[in-house]
Structure 1
Amino acid sequence: MRRQGYPTYLHREPEWDENEQWTTTHWLSNSGGAWLRDLLARGIDVVWATTWQHAANEHFAVPLGLPELPIAVSGEGSRLLGSSSWKSIQLSRQFDHRPLLWVDDNPVPSPSLALPALRLRSDRVLTRFHWIRNWDIGITEHDVRDMNEWLELTRTGHGHEELRERRRRERDRSRATFRRSRWGNEAEYQRWRAIHGRLEIALGVNQSLPHVLAWYAFDHPNGLDPVEVTELVVEWGNAETPLAAELIRIIRCGNAMGA
């Protein structure tokens, strides 16, 4: 690899020799290479989504038996994002109304920046991130079977229904996991939700105060301190916000309904 053209974004500079070259070894997956060639043979578009950017074609296409492929992510992004978020943002702005399978060994850490969350709502069911969990091994035959099965489902209306059902089940599992981690069980979540709902009716849905007070009430099941509630009102409320005594009454009614 040569210094000229080496991708500097999110890549550490290697030790260049006197000719401004660097020699190293990269291990490539035979299963992955064969799968990519098969995708191209089936007429499926394949693009690079890598921090190597244009250097991917120069260094990796020939060993994998691939033609020059389009580059789907490029340029200099914020180093605060990290490589996976940088890729997710760029991929989400392309391929509208088309199935999109992204294969990578580095998941996006923030759910709000995950590829399905960033794509058009109508495209989310046709969006998949496939995580290669062991980058030393790369794409395996098991990965290939799993991804091919998903791609086949994107081809028909029946397959789309199956993908929607899978998405619903996954969303339900994620919600249940989150509720257990934060509220402990479904009954406690319903108690919090009742409080939150009554506060939204009283204060309006476009305020932060209902959320803040609901969490305060949830974290203080044995009693509410009027002084602390007043402090929250001062910090998060406005001139139209009811006094602490009225808010405590609303919260207690919510507690009773949740019980």
Structure 2
Amino acid sequence: MAGLGIPLLFLDIDGPLIPFGAPPPGGYPTYRSPYATGPGPGPSSGPDANPLLDRVDPALGRRLLNLPCELVWATTWMSDANACLSPWLGLPQLPVLDWPVANDDEPVGLHWKTRALVARAAGRPFAWVDDEITAADRRWASAHSPAPVLLHRVDHQRGLTDADFATLDAWLRSV
């Protein structure tokens, strides 16, 4: 696979970084992000801020930076990902994937992000971390990407775990 370039890692926020849904036993840990609701500094503090940001473990940033890849936000948060999450996680400003206009001819069961991710990768190997990935997305991406792909589904109630990082690190190093 020489010459394909460093792999991309497309990263969703809701689910992988912000656990949500019915809490696991013991509830969700909180980290008191300055970018969440409540008093304190941060461009997103105040009544309109996202209270779920307190669930984002700031240690995830270091772990993401240690992966052998180029990180790209693949989220509906768009530029808010860089404004709210990058500083909290200690990440640089990351590229943000632009989403295409909705397409009515998507194959049944294909996630609306899948085609855009394969197009943005432009032949580079990539991993996609999301909580909505299906078998249809895996089949489509494998069939339409000339490079290796890993579509890694994260449990939205737990977010990224040690096991997820081990899987990502091993796959990224293998390509």
Give the counterpart letter for 1:145 in structure 2: A
User: Does the Cα contact within 8 Å between 1:37 and 1:66 map onto a contact in 2?
Assistant: yes
Find the counterpart in structure 2 of residue 102 from structure 1.
128
Aligned CA distance change for structure 1 residues 109 and 68 (closer, same or farther; 3 Å)? same
Give the counterpart letter for 1:153 in structure 2: S
- Partners in 2 of 1:112 and 1:139 — Cα distance? 19
Trace 1:73-88 onto structure 2 (pairs within 5 A): 73-78=98-103, 85-88=111-114
1:25 is the counterpart of 2:47: no
Find the counterpart in structure 2 of residue 34 from structure 1.
62
Q: Which runs of 4+ in 1 moved over 4 A?
A: 78-82
Find the counterpart in structure 2 of residue 53 from structure 1.
78
Q: TM-score, normalized by length of structure 2?
A: 0.60
SS at match of 2:88: coil
Determine what percentage of the aligned residue pairs are the same residue. Answer: 26
Give the counterpart letter for 1:61 in structure 2: S
- Partners in 1 of 2:94 and 2:132 — Cα distance? 21
Q: Structure 1, unaligned stretches of length 5 or more? A: 1-19, 155-259
Give the counterpart letter for 1:34 in structure 2: R
**How many angstroms does 1:70 deviate by?**
0.3
Give the counterpart letter for 1:144 in structure 2: F
Q: What's the C-alpha RMSD, in Å, of the aligned pairs?
A: 2.9
Aligned CA distance change for structure 1 residues 114 and 58 (closer, same or farther; 3 Å)? farther
User: Does the Cα contact within 8 Å between 2:129 and 2:152 map onto a contact in 1?
Assistant: yes
Find the counterpart in structure 2 of residue 68 from structure 1.
93
Aligned CA distance change for structure 1 residues 46 and 111 (closer, same or farther; 3 Å)? closer
Q: Structure 2, unaligned stretches of length 5 or more? A: 1-45
User: Does the Cα contact within 8 Å between 2:100 and 2:116 map onto a contact in 1?
Assistant: no
